[in-house]
Chains A and B, each alone.
Chain A
Amino acid sequence: MTASGAGHFVRTAFVFAACFVSSSRATAQPNTAGASPAGQDAHAAPSAQADQATQPEYPSLHLSGFADVNFAAQDKSEGPRGFSEGQFVLHLAAALSPRVNFFGELSLTPRTDAGTGSPAATGFNAEVERVIIRFDHSDRLKVSFGRYHTPINWWNTAFHHGQWLQTTASRPEMIQFGGRFLPVHFVGALAEGAFYAGGWNLNYQAGIGNGRGNVISRAGDAGDNNARPAVVLNLFTKPDSVFGLQVGGSVYIDRVSVTGRPEVDERIVAAHAIWQREDPELIAEIADVRHEPVGGTGTTSNLAYYVQAAYRLPSVGHLWKPYYRFEHVKVDAADPVFVGVPNLDGSTAGVRFDISTYAAIKSEVRARRRVTDQARTNGWFVQICFTF
Chain B
Amino acid sequence: MLLVALCLVLTGAMRLDAQAPGDVAVVVHPDVPIDNLTLADLRRLLLGDREFWPASVRITLLIRAPIAHERDVVLKNVCQMTEAQFRQHWIAKVFRAETALAPKIAYSSEMAADLVNRIPGAITFIDATQVVGRGLKVVKIDGQLPGQRGYPLH
Contacts and interface: CB of A to CB of B under 8 A. Distances in A.
A199 B57 contact: no
Contacts, number: 133
A93 B48 CA distance: 16
Contacts of A37: 87, 91
Interface of A: 22, 26-27, 29-34, 37-42, 46, 49-50, 53-54, 62, 64, 66, 91, 93-95, 98-99, 101-103, 105, 130, 132, 134, 136-139, 157-160, 162, 165, 194, 199, 201, 238, 240, 243, 277-278, 318, 354, 357, 387
Contacts of B82: 318
Interface of B: 38, 40, 43-44, 49-52, 56-58, 60, 62, 65, 80, 82-85, 87-88, 90-97, 99-105, 107-108, 111, 114-115, 118-121
Contacts of A94: 100
B108 A243 contact: no
Contacts of A32: 104-105
Contact of B95 (A91, A139, A357): A91
Nearest to B39: A240
Contact of A40 (B84, B96, B102): B102
Q: Which 9 A-B pairs have the closest CB atoms?
A: A39-B102, A240-B40, A103-B97, A101-B100, A46-B107, A33-B102, A38-B87, A93-B100, A27-B120
Contacts of A99: 58
- A interface: dominant SS: mixed
A287 B50 CA distance: 29
Contacts of A38: 87, 90-91, 102
B60 A29 contact: yes
B44 A201 contact: yes
A160 B105 contact: no
B119 A46 contact: no
B49 A194 contact: yes
A53 B104 contact: yes
B141 to A, nearest CB: 14
Contacts of A160: 95-96
A158 B100 contact: no
A49 B104 contact: yes
Nearest to A146: B97
Contacts of B44: 201, 240
B75 to A, nearest CB: 13
Nearest to B105: A40
Contacts of A165: 88, 91-92, 95
Contact of B121 (A27, A50, A134): A27
A167 B92 CA distance: 13
